[in-house]
Amino acid sequence: MAGLFDRIRKGLSRTREAVAERIATVVGGRRLDEEVLEEIEEILLTADVGVDTAVAVTDGLRARAAAAGAEADVFDLLQTELEACLLTPPEVKINSLPTRPYVVLVVGVNGVGKTTTIGKLAQRHAEAGHKVLLAACDTFRAGAVAQLDVWAERAGVEIIRAQQGADPAAVAFDALAAAQSRDADVVFIDTAGRLHNKINLMEELKKVRRSIARQCEGAPHDTLLVVDATTGQNALAQATQFHAAVDLTGLVLTKLDGTARGGIAFALSKETGVPIHWIGMGETIDDLQPFNGRDFVAALLGREA
C-alpha cells in the first residue's frame, strides 16, 4: 500500500538523512573498497545500529561486492544485508485472535509511549469489531488513569479503573475476571513506567505477570516492551533487562519521527532476539504501524516499496 509506505518513509526521514544520504555521498560512483566500507560502517554506527550489526553488514557487503564485481549496486546490497539483521514479527493478530480473551501486557520505562500505544491498538481492535477492555494498572502516577480514560472514550472501549496507590497485581487480576465475565476479545494491561534497573519495581512487574497467569491460563499472550527510539543504546539495556524479568514476546519502537537513531531497530533485534511488532512515528492513531523489515529498510535507504 503506497500510502502506508509513504507514512513510514516520512517517519524515518531523519534516520534516512543520516544513513542513506551520507552513504550515497560516500559511495558516489566509487568502488566498494576497504576505505568506502569503513566509512559505511562508521555511518551505520552513528545511526545506532550497534557494533555487531555494523560489522556484520559491512562484512556482508564486502563478500557480496566481491562476488558481484563492478555490477554491484551498493543500495541493493545494503537492503539485503540490513534486512537479514531484522527478525520477522508474527503476523499481526488484529483480524484473527487465536484465543479469547487475548491478553496483552504492556511494559516499559516512563514516557516511552505505553499508554499512547495501548490507545492506538485499542482503537484498531475496536474498528475490527472486537470487544476491548483496558486495565489501568498504572496506579502510581496521578493522572495515569485519566489519560487511559481519554483513550478508552475515544476508542469507545471499556476500562477497569483503580485508585491511585492500589496494588497493580490486584487490579490486573480484577480486570481479567471482568474480561472473562464480560466476554471481552482482547485486554490491554497498562502498567506504570519503571526503570529497568530498579529491582523492587521489576519484582512488582513479575507479580503482575503471575497474577494475570493465575486468573487466565496461558496469559499474558503477548508481553510488549515499548521503547523510545530517541534513547538510542539505552533502549538496548531496557530491552535486555525487561526481557530477563518478564519474558517479552514483542517490542514496540516509538518516536522514530523524532530521531536520526532509528538504526536501534537492528541492534534491538540482534541483541534480544525479540521481534519488533509495531513502530510509532507520531502521536496520531495512523502513526502506529505494524513492523515489516523489508519496508523499514527500504524506507531507511530511500528506496521504493
If the CB atoms of residues 126 and 226 are measured against ligand GDP, the closer one turns out to be: 226
If the CB atoms of residues 12 and 112 are measured against ligand GDP, the closer one turns out to be: 112
In order of 4, 238, 244, 296, 300, the CA distances from 198 in angstroms are 39, 11, 13, 33, 35
Alpha carbons 229 and 261: distance in angstroms, whole number = 7
Q: How many residues does the chain have?
A: 305
Residue 282 interacts with ligand GDP (CB under 6 A): yes or no: yes
CA nearest neighbour of 241 among 201, 197, 291? 197
In this chain, which stretch among 41-49, 160-168, 203-211, 282-290 interacts with ligand GDP, using CB under 6 A? 282-290
If the CB atoms of residues 138 and 295 are measured against Mg ion, the closer one turns out to be: 138
Alpha carbons 105 and 10: distance in angstroms, whole number = 29
| Min dist. Cβ of residue 11 to ligand GDP (A) | 8
In this chain, which stretch among 42-50, 60-68, 73-81, 107-115 interacts with Mg ion, using CB under 5 A? 107-115
CA neighbours closer than 13 Å in the CB half-sphere of residue 260: 12
Residue 115 interacts with Mg ion (CB under 5 A): yes or no: yes
Cell numbers 519521527 correspond to: 257
First CA to last CA distance, the chain: 9
Residue 283 interacts with ligand GDP (CB under 6 A): yes or no: yes
| Min dist. Cβ of residue 112 to ligand GDP (A) | 4
Chain residues 236-265 in contact with ligand GDP, contact rule CB under 6 A: 254-255, 257-258
Residue 158 interacts with ligand GDP (CB under 6 A): yes or no: no
Cis peptide before 101 (omega within 30 of 0): yes
CB atoms within 10 A of CB 149: 14
Size of the site for ligand GDP (CB under 6 A): 19
Residue 15 interacts with Mg ion (CB under 5 A): yes or no: no
Alpha carbons 188 and 114: distance in angstroms, whole number = 10
Q: Which spans of this chain sit near Mg ion (rule: CB under 5 A)?
A: 114-115
Q: Which spans of this chain sit near ligand GDP (rule: CB under 6 A)?
A: 108, 110-116, 193, 226, 254-255, 257-258, 280-283, 287
